[in-house]
Structure 1
Amino acid sequence: MSAMNHVEIATTFLRMCARGEVREAYARFVAADFVHHNAWFPGDRESLLLAMEQSAAAEPNKSFEPKQVIEGGDRVAVLSHLRRAQAELEYAVVHIVRFADGRIVELWDLGQEIPKDSPNALGMF
């Protein structure tokens, strides 16, 4: 079996985290010196790992579907559709993942709630 490329690693990591397989995803794909830019948590590896675990435990039935993936150099950007079951909310989410030596070393994420009555017939995807 050949090694996974950056796109496969990024999308697999995000899907695993959304399913609640956070520790396994981190063990397989995330570097020890990982940092992130989520404004709601300290920028270290452990803080985001714990936040992802708490999110998965609080909302185990969320749906996460990558829609577009762009790769350039050491970075992969993933546009995804996130559905939160309990809150009946949907989001367009972008994750930018930076790699070094085949592992995720940095992550940016941002999201926008999808309006129920958008005037844009094309939608967000």
Structure 2
Amino acid sequence: MKMKKMKKMMAVLLGLSLVTAMSAGPAFAADKMPAFKNNKQMVEYFWNQVFNKHNTSVIDSMTAPNYIQHSPGFADGRQAFEDGIQGFLKEFPESKAVIKHIGADGDLVFIHNHITLNASDRGQAAVDIFRVKDGKIVEHWDVIQDIPEKAENSNTMF
């Protein structure tokens, strides 16, 4: 009789462990996130995950719920940002935003990047600015300019 109870208890414990592990899935993914030495490194990782690897799952763990957005195409809030980015990536699955320059000043991180929607797109030059607080991205600004077919000088935009 004792053996039967023990087997039943083990089965219940194993089932609970499996349910717990399955429900903790996103936490395991967050655990795999690298340790960041500074804000610049953290924002660079975030940028490349979202805009170059199209991994939007990092948005939940790396942005504040009350994320403030200054880009006129997005509403405030983490969920609005995530929804907007997922829609953009669905519409432009070949898009990339390659970092050309990155810098930081205290809680602000600046990224100068080249956005393209596909391999044949000339693209846009952009500067994105992120404010970081307590290890989360809390605010964002951007300035975006189309790359012209012809320039008045021989310099690139990067």
TM-score, with structure 2 as normaliser: 0.72
Partner residue, 1:110: 143
Stretches of 4+ aligned residues off by more than 4 angstroms: none
Distance in 1 of aligned mates of 2:63 and 2:127: 18
Query: In the alignment, is the contact (CA less than 8 A) between 1:20 and 1:57 conserved in 2?
Result: no
- Tell me by how many angstroms 1:87 deviates: 7.3
Considering fraction of residues, name the structure with more strand. Answer: 1
Higher mean alpha-carbon deviation, 38-47 vs 49-58, is at 38-47
- Tell me by how many angstroms 1:52 deviates: 0.5
Distance in 2 of aligned mates of 1:54 and 1:121: 36
Match for residue 50 of structure 1 among 74, 78, 83: 83
Work out whether 1:10 is the aligned partner of 2:27. Answer: no
Question: What's the RMSD between the two structures over aligned residues?
Answer: 1.9
Amino acid at match of 1:111: I
Distance in 1 of aligned mates of 2:61 and 2:137: 10
Match for residue 83 of structure 1 among 97, 116, 121: 116
Cα 1:120–1:28 change in 2 (3 A) is: farther
- Tell me by how many angstroms 1:33 deviates: 2.2
Partner residue, 2:55: 21
CA deviation digits over 1:44-85, x for unaligned, max 9?
221121110000111111122101111101110100011111
- Tell me by how many angstroms 1:2 deviates: 7.1
Amino acid at match of 2:134: D
**Greater C-alpha Rg:** 2
Distance in 2 of aligned mates of 1:84 and 1:118: 21
TM-score, with structure 1 as normaliser: 0.89
Considering fraction of residues, name the structure with more helix. Answer: 2
Unpaired runs of 5+ residues, structure 1, are none
**Which of structures 1 and 2 has the larger relative contact order (alpha carbons within 8 angstroms, sep 6+)?**
1
- Percent of aligned positions that are identical: 25
Unpaired runs of 5+ residues, structure 2, are 1-32
Cα 1:88–1:2 change in 2 (3 A) is: closer
Cα 1:54–1:2 change in 2 (3 A) is: closer
Match for residue 68 of structure 2 among 22, 35, 40: 35
